[in-house]
Amino acid sequence: MTLPDPEIRPRPPRVTGARHLVAATRYSAGGARRLWQETALRHIALGFAASLALLIWARAGLSEIAIFTVLTLILVAVEALNTAIECVVDHLAPDWQEFARDAKDLGSFATMCLLVANGLFLASVLAGAAGLL
């Protein structure tokens, strides 16, 4: 007799309507809790708070703060996707494999691109506030 794999669970029943919205919110909250376990997200949150303080100190406009907030939310979304890729790759390739390295490197690169975009935007706002632009 073969015992069932404890990692495999039956799929939850499909829900629709308002119950779907509640379920989707619960899944998103679970994703946020999981992502908070990543050091990278905590660094992003700390960087956002420090950058927001800089923007307020530099008397950035509401639109500039809104753009920076949107850029940071996009960064968080990309970091969540990067973490999801890493979870799947770690499951598929517990030992070193080239495809696993490539997948992780590409996810990391996507995150880095958004970090650079956030940094460039922050620098341009601060330079403008200092009269350098």
Catalytic residues, by residue number, are: 79
Helix axis angle for 39-57 and 18-36, nearest 10°, is 90
Given a contact cutoff of 8 angstroms between Cβ atoms, the answer to whether 78 and 132 are in contact is no
How does DSSP classify residue 38? S
**CA–CA gap between residue 133 and residue 125 (Å, rounded):** 9
Query: Residues with Cβ < 8 Å from 92, sequence gap 6 or more?
Result: 100
**CA–CA gap between residue 126 and residue 123 (Å, rounded):** 5
